[in-house]
Structure 1
Amino acid sequence: MQLLAQQLVNGIALGSIYALFAVGFALILAKMGILNVAHGTFATWGALASYYLVTERGLSFWVALALGVLLAGALGVAADQLAFEPLRRRGAGVFAPIIASIGIWIVLLTLAEAHAGPTAVSYPAESVPAEPFRFLGLIMLPAQVISVLALVVVVTGVHLLLTRTRFGSAIRAVAVDPRSATIVGVNARRTLIAVAFLAAAIAGLAGILGALSDNNVSATIGEGLLLKGFAAVVVGGYGDIRGAALVGVVIGVLEVMSSQYISSGFRDAITFGVLLVVLVARPQGVFGERQLVRA
């Protein structure tokens, strides 16, 4: 029982990182209508930037984390304004933004690989909190606690932003119809820039916390997060931030439990097999609404 509880804690902590990334990805997909496959590289660059600031500039981990998140957000805005905004103005449809995002992904990933090199590195031991502590007999690392707390704060903040503020109303209006939103006084372009920044910044935070938890900083951090985050968004329910976060946590728990009790070699197959069963049973996602198509 003790081992089960410990692995549950480990799974929730891992899933919190997946869930963080999924929240940002859900914002882009649902509020901007873009399947941005470059989203994982924002997480990668957030982690690389924070590592550089800690090791080369001597900044504290917390300052480096904040600056890494801001850099990731800035990359999200740059990608939106350089690639997606021109396509929106021209009414380019669904597939052109996907191709554009693939181009952004390849460019940013190539630059990350050139910057980071082939060898994974880790944060200096003295720069990050690492001393484990016990609670009710369970061992918890500071990185795990930080990840869970970050998820709670981000999900709560984003949910309140979207549902309780005037800016959230503007985001929802632009997501439904940018032209109509503009007619009633919403600055659609400014709103989309803010969404792009917020989503990419959350991805950067997920990348930094993932690197901290794994003690591994490399150019491929965002690639694994992209797959898990996309699965969480789809299974959680299109556009439901809380659903994406919950399924992200479930993915982490499934991975850890299957590795412990079945086989680490099959953990991805087991995890996505379970998600496939859920999706077949409920195609609109766990928290999504069924879409009715009328002739």
Structure 2
Amino acid sequence: MQLFIEQLINGWALGSLYALFGIGFGLVFATLGILNAAHGTYASWAAIIGYYAVERFGVPFPIAILAGVVGGGLLAMAVDQIGFQPLRSRKAGMLGALITSIAFWIILDSLAGFATEHQSLAFPAASYPSKMFAIGPLRIPQMQVIIIASLLICTAGIYLLIQKTRLGAAMRAVGWNEVAAGLGGVNARVVILLTAFLAGATSGLAGVLGGIATSNVSFTLGEGLMLKGFAAVVVGGYDDVRGTAIAGIMLGIIEVFVAQYISTEFRDGFTYILLLVFLIARPRGLFGSTSFMRA
């Protein structure tokens, strides 16, 4: 029983990383209509920025996370304004944006490889919380608690932002129709910039925390998050952060249990079987029919 609970917590923490990334990815798709293949590089670069903030400048753990989060957000804004804004002004459509995002993915991925010298780096052990919480016979790493708490806070915060604030209403309006939102007094470009920053920052947080938890800061870090985050968005509902959070946790738990009780070779296979099932049977995801982004 102890092993089962420990693996459940491991899966919850892993799934929280997928969900954090998926929330940012889903925000861009729901609000801007962009399937951004470069989104994974925001997580990679955030982890790299956080790592060098610690390694080169010796900043404390919270500042390193903040540096990575801000770096991911600013990178997302830059990609949007350099790559996607000209396409929006020309009404290029989703295909043009997808091709552009692939180009940015290749460029940013190559630069990330150069920044890490194509090696897997690791945060110094003394630079982040590494204690264990004891609950009876259970031993829970402090970083897992931080990851789970980060997802809960981000999910609640973004949900309330979109549901209860003027900015959230403007995001929903732009998601429905950018031109109509502009006619209604919404500054669509500002909303798009803020949405891009929020999406990049959320994915950046997943990158930094994932880089610490897995001791893997590399240019490939975002690729794994991208695949699993996309699955969380599809299963949960591309425009509902609640569904993405639940689906991400579910995927993480499934992965860990499959690896523990069946085989590590099939852990990814089960994830994509579930993805295919939802694409066929319920393409709008768990919460798609009552999507709050389109409320």
TM-score (norm 1): 0.96
What's 1:38 paired with? 38
Q: Which residue of 2 aligns with 1:160?
A: 160
Tell me the residue number matched to 1:268. 268
Instruction: Report Cα offsets for 1:183-209 as digits up to 9, x if no partner.
Output: 111100000000000000001000001
* Distance of 1:132 and 1:64 partners within structure 2: 21
Partner-residue secondary structure (3-state), 1:217: coil
Deviation at 1:290, TM superposition (A): 9.0
Contact residue 284 and residue 290 of structure 1 kept, 8 A: no
Counterpart of 1:251 in structure 2 is 251
Shift of 1:289: 1.8
| Pairing 1:280–2:280 present | yes
Matches within 5 A, 1:92-131: 92-131=92-131
Contact 1:18 1:225 in 2 (8 A): yes
* CA drift at 1:136: 3.6
Q: Which residue of 2 aligns with 1:74?
A: 74
2-structure distance, mates of 1:216, 1:283: 33
For residue 216 of structure 1, what is the aligned residue in structure 2? 216
**1:94 counterpart SS class:** helix
Preserved contact between residue 27 and residue 239 of structure 1 (Cα < 8 Å): yes
Q: Distance in 2 between matches of 1:177 and 1:271?
A: 33
Query: TM-score normalised to the size of structure 2?
Result: 0.96
Q: Find the residue that maps to 2:93 and give its secondary structure.
A: coil
How far did residue 61 of structure 1 move? Answer: 1.6
Contact 1:54 1:60 survives alignment (8 Å) = yes
Identity %: 48
1:224–1:55: structure 2 CA closer, same or farther, 3 Å change rule? same
Task: Assess, with a 3 A threshold, how the Cα gap between structure 1 residues 254 and 167 changes in structure 2: closer, same or farther.
Answer: same
Q: State the distance in 2 between where 1:127 and 1:283 align.
A: 42
For 2:161 and 2:179, locate their aligned partners in 1 and report how far apart those are by CA, in whole Å. Answer: 22
In 2, the alpha carbon distance for the partners of 1:106 and 1:245 equals 28
Q: Is the 8 A contact 1:23 1:202 kept in 2?
A: yes
CA distances 1:50-96 after superposition (whole Å, capped 9, x unpaired):
00010011111211110111011000000000010110001001100
Q: CA RMSD in A?
A: 1.3
> How many pairs does the alignment contain?
291
* 8 Å CA contact 1:50, 1:208 repeated in 2: yes
Query: How far did residue 133 of structure 1 move?
Result: 2.0
Match of 2:140 in 1: 140
CA distance in 1, matches of 2:234, 2:57: 40
The C-alpha deviation readout for 1:232-281, integer Å capped at 9, x for no partner, is: 11111131111111111111001100000000111111222233334433
